[in-house]
Every structure is written in C-alpha cells, then in structure tokens.
Structure 1
Amino acid sequence: MPLSPLRLRLLVISLLTVSFLGALDHTVVSTSLATIAGELGALNLMSWVVVGYTLASTVLLPVLGKLGDVLGARRIFLGSLVMFLAASLACGFAQDMAWLIAARVLQGMSSAGLQLMSQTIIARVTTQRERPRYLAIIGAAFPIAILVGPVLGGAITDTWGWSWVFWINIPVGAAALGLALVAVPHLEPGPMPRHFDVAGAAVFTAALVALVLAVTWAAERSAGTGTAAALAVSVLGFVAFFFVERRAPEPIVPFRFFANRTIAAGTALSAIIGVGLFSITAYLPTYFQMAYQTTATVSGFVPIATVFGMLISNLLTGWLATRTGRYRIFPIVGTSLGAGGLSVMALLPAGLPLWVPMIVMGVVGMGTGAFMSLIVAVVQGAAPASQTGAITATVNLVRQVGSTVATAIIGGVIGFGVPALLPAGLDASTLTPHLVHGAAPAVQATIAQIYGAVFTPIFLALAATYAVGIVAAVLLPHGRLSDEPVPAQKASETLSA
C-alpha cells in the first residue's frame, strides 16, 4: 500500500530507530560484561548474557516471520517494541545473573521481531524499485551499532552504572513507539492458516539450541560427551525439521520457494555474509595485537575500517539499485571484492604498517555492504506478498546461524592452533598482548609468526566462502526491480524480466 512522502519518512525514522536499538543491544553490553559479572558475582555465567540474547533472537525469527504474515506485521512490530522496552527495564533492575539472563532472553526475542518486521513492513509499503534504498537505510543500523556500541557501553557504565546500558533504551524506545503508532500503517494480514506449524517451531528450536550449546562449549574448549551429545541432537533435529516442514501445510520455513533460483541464490548470499565476514570481525583485534604488536585501542581500527566500508557501500548500492533498477551486478562485484580482500589478508606478512590491512579489510567491508541489504529486497520481490515475513525471516536466519557456527569454528581453530605451535616455556592460557609486547624481540617475532600461521588458513577459508558467493551471485537471474506497487495479497513469483 502506498504512503504519502511525509508518512513514509516518519515510518523510516521510526523503523531505523528501533532497528538501531535492537542492533545496539548486540554490541553495547560487551564493554559492561566484566562490571556486570563482578557486581552480580557470577563470572562463570557472563557469556550467557550475550549468548542468551543471540540465541533467542535467532530461534524466534521463523516463528515471528510466520506470525507477521498471519496476524499482520504492525501487530508483531508494536508488540515486540513494547516487550523490548519492558525487558530493558527488567535488565537494569536485575539482582542476580539468572534474572539478567532471563531478561536478556526476552530482549533477544523482541529484538528479532523489531529487526524482522522492520524489513517486512518496508517490503509491504514500497515497490521493488524503491525497496533497496529504504532497506539500506534501515540496514545501516547494524554497522553503526558495531561502531558506537562498545564505546557507548563503556562510557555509560563508567558514568552512570551498568543498569543504564539497558535503561537508556526506555526514553528512545518510547519516543519511537509513539512515532510508530502514527507512522506504521495497518497492513492487511494474510489468510489465517488452518494449522500453525507448532511441530516445526518446536523441532527447530530444540535443534538450534542444541547447535548453539555445542559450538559454544567447543569454542570454550570444554568439548566432551556433552558437546558431542548436543551436536548429535542438533543434527538429528535439523534432519527431522526438514521432513516436518516438507509435510506441514503451513511451514514456518517455506522450503518449496527454494525452487525459485532468485530465492535460492539470494539466501546463499545472505549465509555467506554471516560465515565470511561477521564471523571474523571479533577476532581481528586479537590478531593485530599479537601479530602486529599493536595496543588494544589501535587494533580496533581494522574492524572499524571494515564496518565503515560496509556502511558506505550498503547505502551507496541501495541508492544505485533504486535509481537504476539493476541489482545483479552488485553481489557479483561485492563477493569478488570479499574473496580478493581476504586472499590478500592471507598473504600479508605480519609487521606491515597498520594502514595496509585497514585498507584491505575496508575493501572486504565494502564488498559485503554492496549486497548486505540489497539481497533481502531481491529475495522479498521473488516471493508472494502473503509470505513476505516468512521469506524475510529465512534470509536473516541463515545469516545469523552461519555467523554463530563460523564464529565458534574460528574460535576453536585459534584455541587449538596457537597452543599447539607455542614453543616450550610459553603457556597459551596466560599469553596476553601485554605480556607479548614486553617480551624479547625474538619471542615477539615467534608469536607473530604463530598467529600468522594460524590465521592464514582462516582467511583463505573465508576467501573460498566468498568465491562460492561469486557463483551464487552469477546464478541470480537477469532482471530489473519493478516499479509496480505490490498488492496486499498478490505478488509475482519472480522479479520482472
């Protein structure tokens, strides 16, 4: 349904604000964790403040996507925003770690609704041609949150206390809620399903929880029978989920749509973003502190350059795709830049001036941003309008699962590879950047070589992932984004030729 220019601007402002709040809570807590764990006295549970949030937001994606199609995106969006504000309030009042983790799970569940319904609402009120520009604006929330979140979280914790890391959401979110009540239109929901896919939702939740537990325990190098059992449950669960969805009359993940080449290739490209880039950014500072002997502050410049390149490219390609109607060239160029940049990272000798890897990773970020939001718009345009929420959830789901699994695998490779190569007399459990920087030059050179040897195959593997993305991008059908409005309950199965 078309909106007036003023109402569309108000809608975009509202969606951008709440998307930023949801994305910010992924990053703002990181610099507060040590303080929170110390005051609540549960250092062993600290990681679950982040894991609980991420797991809940991932698990709920397909369920909320289906509910958005059935009940209407506006209802799910407003309900998620109210729940997010209530959960933020509860987080700040937490008296122990169990309370905080439970509140963070609620925050993650509601964050999934904010992220997903923002993209779904844009898809329902814009043409295919307009959509990339607006999705790029809303998609900018994530890289901005990566840039400002850790700094903002540290400043708030030092100035007002860690509770305000969560309470700061209340006034901003309340203002966004007031704006959303006015700006978000009433969208006609799809037909009520005869049977909601309860079995599919339950099996998927169990399989994903088991997967996250397995990769989390493996990354913490506490692999054992528990890790193996969780992995086995996960594999069996996803196999069962596939067969349940094939038989379900109203599946939460519409596998039948993958017969459409646009949807199949676009979903693969979305997964590659999670696997190829989002998984490595958390480890880049450690790599540069150890291999390039930089301080913690300086090492942060490389991920900042990566995210900044992603932000600029995301906005630019969204504008260009809307202006020209062309979309296929951007993922082809983007995946090529990602594959080339990560291959160069594997070949760079340690000790070069830091601006060299900053430029290289900035190029990788630009390549990723070239199709990060655009591919969501392309896939949405290839699915029926009545399934917009479900297909948008699927695209986001593969990206988050890919990022979670690849992050754990990379952590495991580093955790195994570095201790295995360390010379006698150096203990990996006590090896800190401060200790290395104060060691003899020969020791520093040895550590740099070790980290280079461990990270080289990681960069090459991620470059290969982007190379697969080039194939997926080439397989996207030729076409142009349509200027025709998308009816409430009718959309073409493919993009206009």
Structure 2
Amino acid sequence: MRLRLLVVSLLSVSFLGALDHTVVSTSLATIAGDLGALEQMSWVVVGYTLSSTVLLPVIGKLGDAIGPRSVFLTSLVAFLAASVLCGFAPDMGWLVVARVIQGATSAGLQLMSQTILAHVTSPRERPRYMAVIGAAFPIAILIGPVVGGLITDYWGWPWVFWINVPIGLAALALAVVVVPHIDPAPARRFDVAGSVTFTISLVALVLAVSWVGDPSAARAAMVCFLTAVVSFAAFLLVELRSPQPVVPLRLFRNRTIAAGLALSAIIGIGLFSVTAYLPTYFQMAYRTSVTVSGLVPIATVFGMLVSNLVTGWMASRSGRYRVFAISGTMLAAVGLFVMALLPVGLPLWVPMVVMFFVGVGTGAFMSLIIAVVQSAVPKTQLGAVTASVNLVRQVGATVTTAVIGGVVATGVAGLLPGGLDIATLTPQLVHAADVATQAEVAAIYTSVFAPVFIGLAIAYAVGVVAAVLLPAGRLSEEQPVAVDAQPLPA
C-alpha cells in the first residue's frame, strides 16, 4: 500500500512540474501585455528552460550526496514559493527571476521522482512505475495549453501559477509521509568547480542557440558559442581530475549507459524538437486553421502516452527491454521518412496517423531507457546517471529546435515569391490569398520540411544502431534491501 501511495505522490508532483511548463504557453502574451513588456516575453520561457536544463547534473549529484528525499521535499517547497511569487509579479524582471526558480525546482521534482523510484523498486518492477511517472509529460502537453487558456480567461493569469499551491500542498503532505528516507552516498567533497564550469557552458550554449536565428543578436550568439566551448573544455579537465565528479565520465564506458544516453538524446533531437513547428507546417502546407493544426501534435503525443504505458508494463512482465528500443526507433524512423514523402493535398488524417505511429515508436522506450540505465549503476550514483539521461534529452531538443527554426526560416525566405515577406507571413494572410498563392506557399513549406523530416528520420536510424548495441538480457528481479513497501501485483 505504501508503494501505491508513493507512486501517487511522485506522479502528482511530476505532473505539477510538467504542467507548469505547458500551461503558461497559452497565457504568455496576456502576461507580457499586462506587465507592459512584450519585447521581453521570450525570457519567461528561456529563463525556465535554462534553469531546468543546466542544473540537472548539480541536482542529481546533490541527490546522491545528501539523499533524494531531502532534495525532493526542498524542491517542492521552493517550487510552491516560486509559484506564489510568479502570480504576484509586478513587472517582467520579477517574473523572469521567479520562473528561473520554478524551472530549477521543477527539474528537481522530476529528477528526484525518478531517482526515488529507482531506490525503492527492483529493476524488473521499475519500467512499469517509471512509465506511470513518465506519463506526466505527455498528459501535460495534451491538456496544459487548454487549462492555461481557461484559467487565464476566467480567473486571470496569476492563477496559472497560484493553482499550483493547493495541489502542491496536498502532494507535499502526502510526500512527507510516504517518501522514504534513503541513505546518501558516503560524504565526499562536492565538485564545485565541475558544477560551475558545466553550468556556464550549458547556459552559454542554450543562449547561443536561442539567439542564433536573430540577426540583431548574432554577435552575442557567437560570444556565447565561444564561451560554451571554452567552459566545456575546462569542465572536461576538471572532471578528469575530480575524485567525485558531478558528471562521472567513466560511467560512459559502460555500453548500457552509453547506448541509453544516445537513445535519450535522440528522443529530444528526433521528436521533441519538431513538435513546436508542426502546427505552423500544417497551417501552411495543409491550409488548416490554428485549432485543427493542433490535432497532429495531439495525435503524436497520444501515441507516445499509450506506448509508454504499454511497453513499461510489458517490460516489467518479461524483463526484456532491448526489443522495445529497437522496434520503437525503427517505427519512428520509418514514420518520419514517410512524412517527408507525403505529397501536398492529402487529407489531414493521413499525417495524423503517421505521426501517431512516430509517437508510438518514441513512447516505446521514452521512460524504459531511464530504468535500463539506472539498472547499470550502483545506488550511490543513481541521481547522477538519471540527471545525465534527462540532460542529453533536453539539450538535444533545445539545440535541434533552434537548428530547425533556422532551416525553416532560411528555406522559406529563399523560396517565397515576390510580394510575400516572411517577416509578415501568417497563416491568416496565406488563407486569404488567391488559390494559386496558397498552393505555392503550401509547396514551399512541403519542400522545406521534407529534408527536416529526413534528417530526423536519420537521427532515429542512428537510434536503431544504439538500440542494437544495448546488451541483451533481462532486468533483474532482485528487491532493494531498504524498501519499506511491497510491489504491486503483476
């Protein structure tokens, strides 16, 4: 029973953190307009993304050093405090700082949920429970924008943040009771130098890819790229000499970990990066409305959700995991390749079905690979390796999103006919144009996105190789010795 309650607690907190990211997107323009800072609107997203990404290794190492329960409860309290501050923000600077705190603590909630689960379950049980926790993200994508819009329209945008408080307090009360005490790793000196150099390198990288498509920020982007390279080189030197590195590089020699990290990165590169552009693609190439264009990402995420839950249950039943990674990467690669070949003018249900299967393929190993990688390390390094799996996924998504944005903007601008300017090109403008112009723009977007889909298909093809390199075998049924809980019946 206690394990059931623990899973409920971890799921509710993970869902709260995931929903916080998606629910704000709908109300962002309203918030920026009320605070009189539309030009700074992007920093609300960039600040959250930066902190939730760059602090993952530090949070993971803290979880190993002082115990995941302490980091989890501290992150939850700080997340609720930041939510209150966001709702009371009098200006954009206040809001951005509060969102930075929210991003960092949200990363702590997600990461420690996965780490705690790894401590209290056997490798065989873990995929089933990890799939349940992992379901928080696709569900948040599905309902977050709608919930954010309804709250903003009927209650006001501060409640987008304040709604976290009553839910979070209930989750906190449950967590205090059911989250077990887990002994930390033997005390050693914390790797401050590694944490600082790694944080600087990732902050610089994320800022660089965020600004790379803005001509006015080209010089700043170049400076950030150079800073990222120098800082990352310094980080490698520090980690090679550190007795307790924040990112244990020696773990990457393990084939399971190396292949698992590659597969996790491919999820960010191959799917998470393109979902933001799918609505625009279908509005232009298929001439759909804004509302209808959202059906394709919804179909993709729904496929991911169903597959994530089903394969997690199947892997726990059989102990096998390699087959799901191989079949999932192959299915997603084929689906994205088919997307590149679809001609203009097909009914919308065709790409919806194709992207549904891309989601199914990705969901087949999305949460499973975390459980597999966790099974390859001692318990004293669960936080660090779990952070690494999440980190490569988020960095892959962030960098590839920027690359796709640049490719699409450059490609469309170079092919647009005279009289149309990409700076003012909107779906509404295209839909109001004559039939010939609509067809031409549709053909342009189809031709520009075709190589994007092919590139992402190639990324998943590389994932097939990584999946094949996973060692064959079954997850162990050995129970952890310090678990005050009983597993759910199979």
Which TM-score applies when normalising by structure 1? 0.96
Residues 102-144 of structure 1, C-alpha deviations (whole Å, 9 max, x = no match): 0000001100110000000000000000000000000000000
Q: Matches of 1:222 and 1:210 in 2, distance apart?
A: 17
Q: Which residue of the partner structure matches residue 104 of structure 1?
A: 99
Q: Which residue of the partner structure matches residue 355 of structure 1?
A: 349
What is the correspondence of 1:309-328 to structure 2 with a 5 Å cutoff?
A: 309-328=303-322
Q: Structure 2 unaligned runs (5+)?
A: 484-490
Secondary structure of residue in 1 paired with 2:216: coil
Residues 297-316 of structure 1, C-alpha deviations (whole Å, 9 max, x = no match): 00000000000000000000
Question: 21-30 or 465-474: which moved more?
Answer: 21-30
Secondary structure of residue in 2 paired with 1:192: coil
> Out of 193, 198, 203, which is 1:204 matched to?
198
- Verify the 8 A CA contact 2:120 2:482 in the aligned structure 1: no
Q: Matches of 1:53 and 1:27 in 2, distance apart?
A: 11
- Determine if the alignment matches structure 1 residue 123 to structure 2 residue 118: yes
What is the correspondence of 1:125-204 to structure 2 with a 5 Å cutoff?
A: 125-193=120-188, 195-204=189-198
Q: Matches of 2:39 and 2:203 in 1, distance apart?
A: 19
Q: Which residue of the partner structure matches residue 228 of structure 2?
A: 234
Residues 65-103 of structure 1, C-alpha deviations (whole Å, 9 max, x = no match): 011011000000000000000000000000000000000
- Determine if the alignment matches structure 1 residue 56 to structure 2 residue 40: no
Question: What displacement does 1:235 show?
Answer: 1.5
Secondary structure of residue in 1 paired with 2:288: coil
Q: Which residue of the partner structure matches residue 20 of structure 1?
A: 15
Amino acid aligned to 1:287? Y
What is the correspondence of 1:31-70 to structure 2 with a 5 Å cutoff?
A: 31-70=26-65
Question: What displacement does 1:221 show?
Answer: 4.3
Question: What displacement does 1:27 show?
Answer: 0.6
Q: Which residue of the partner structure matches residue 492 of structure 1?
A: none
Question: What displacement does 1:488 show?
Answer: 6.2
Q: Which residue of the partner structure matches residue 452 of structure 2?
A: 458
- Verify the 8 A CA contact 1:336 1:467 in the aligned structure 2: yes
Q: Matches of 1:377 and 1:487 in 2, distance apart?
A: 18
- Verify the 8 A CA contact 2:208 2:225 in the aligned structure 1: yes
Question: What displacement does 1:222 show?
Answer: 3.5
Q: Which residue of the partner structure matches residue 447 of structure 1?
A: 441
Moved segments of 4+, more than 4 Å: none
- Verify the 8 A CA contact 2:282 2:288 in the aligned structure 1: yes
What is the correspondence of 1:196-275 to structure 2 with a 5 Å cutoff?
A: 196-275=190-269
Amino acid aligned to 1:272? I
Residues 444-493 of structure 1, C-alpha deviations (whole Å, 9 max, x = no match): 0110011011101100000000000000000000110000023569xxxx
Give aligned-pair identity as a percent: 70
Question: What displacement does 1:219 show?
Answer: 3.0
Question: What displacement does 1:239 show?
Answer: 2.0
- Verify the 8 A CA contact 1:199 1:244 in the aligned structure 2: yes
- Determine if the alignment matches structure 1 residue 280 to structure 2 residue 290: no
Question: What displacement does 1:188 show?
Answer: 1.0
Question: What displacement does 1:414 show?
Answer: 1.1
Question: What displacement does 1:247 show?
Answer: 1.1
Q: Matches of 1:23 and 1:350 in 2, distance apart?
A: 35
Residues 273-303 of structure 1, C-alpha deviations (whole Å, 9 max, x = no match): 0000000000000000000000000000000
- Verify the 8 A CA contact 1:385 1:487 in the aligned structure 2: no
Amino acid aligned to 2:78? M
Question: What displacement does 1:169 show?
Answer: 0.1
Q: Matches of 1:331 and 1:223 in 2, distance apart?
A: 40
- Determine if the alignment matches structure 1 residue 410 to structure 2 residue 407: no
Superposed CA RMSD in Å reads 1.0
Question: What displacement does 1:220 show?
Answer: 3.5
Q: Which residue of the partner structure matches residue 494 of structure 1?
A: none
- Determine if the alignment matches structure 1 residue 291 to structure 2 residue 285: yes
Q: Matches of 1:219 and 1:480 in 2, distance apart?
A: 45
- Determine if the alignment matches structure 1 residue 370 to structure 2 residue 367: no
Question: What displacement does 1:442 show?
Answer: 0.6
Question: What displacement does 1:351 show?
Answer: 1.6
- Verify the 8 A CA contact 2:305 2:363 in the aligned structure 1: yes
Paired residues, number: 483
Q: Which residue of the partner structure matches residue 483 of structure 1?
A: 477
Q: Matches of 1:307 and 1:245 in 2, distance apart?
A: 37
- Determine if the alignment matches structure 1 residue 329 to structure 2 residue 326: no
Q: Which residue of the partner structure matches residue 378 of structure 2?
A: 384
Secondary structure of residue in 1 paired with 2:377: coil
Question: What displacement does 1:240 show?
Answer: 1.8
Residues 31-73 of structure 1, C-alpha deviations (whole Å, 9 max, x = no match): 1011001000001110111111111011111001011011000
